[in-house]
Amino acid sequence: MAVLGILWYCSTKYYVKPNQYTIMIYDIFGKGIKIDGVRTNFKIKEVAQSHISEYKNRFQHYSFSMKEEIQTKTKLRILKKNQR
């Protein structure tokens, strides 16, 4: 049992959670489009999925998918030369 706990901890420790979800809209030809009045950027996955199901009911001629984005922040390091 302890081994499973250690494996679970090690596997979730390095999981990077997406911090932005974007709804992609496609017409009947498969071309990506934008529709006025349709919100496409979300911070929470469940909210994006809920909007997709609502948009599928309202806009039946279009197809919708969700894209997850992970924004990495690079740390700025300033190296200082030792003055003697």
- Flag whether pLDDT at 50 surpasses 70: yes
Tokens of 25: 């809209």
- Determine the Cα–Cα distance for residues 7 and 2; give it in Å rounded to an integer: 9
Give the distance from CA 45 to its chain's centroid: 7
How does pLDDT run across 7-26, given as a tens digit for each residue? 777 766 666 677 899 999 99
How does pLDDT run across 60-84, given as a tens digit for each residue? 999 999 999 887 666 566 656 555 5
Q: How much is the pLDDT for 16?
A: 66
Q: How much is the pLDDT for 26?
A: 95
- Determine the Cα–Cα distance for residues 81 and 8; give it in Å rounded to an integer: 43
Q: How much is the pLDDT for 33?
A: 94
Beta bridge partners, 25, equal: 33, 64
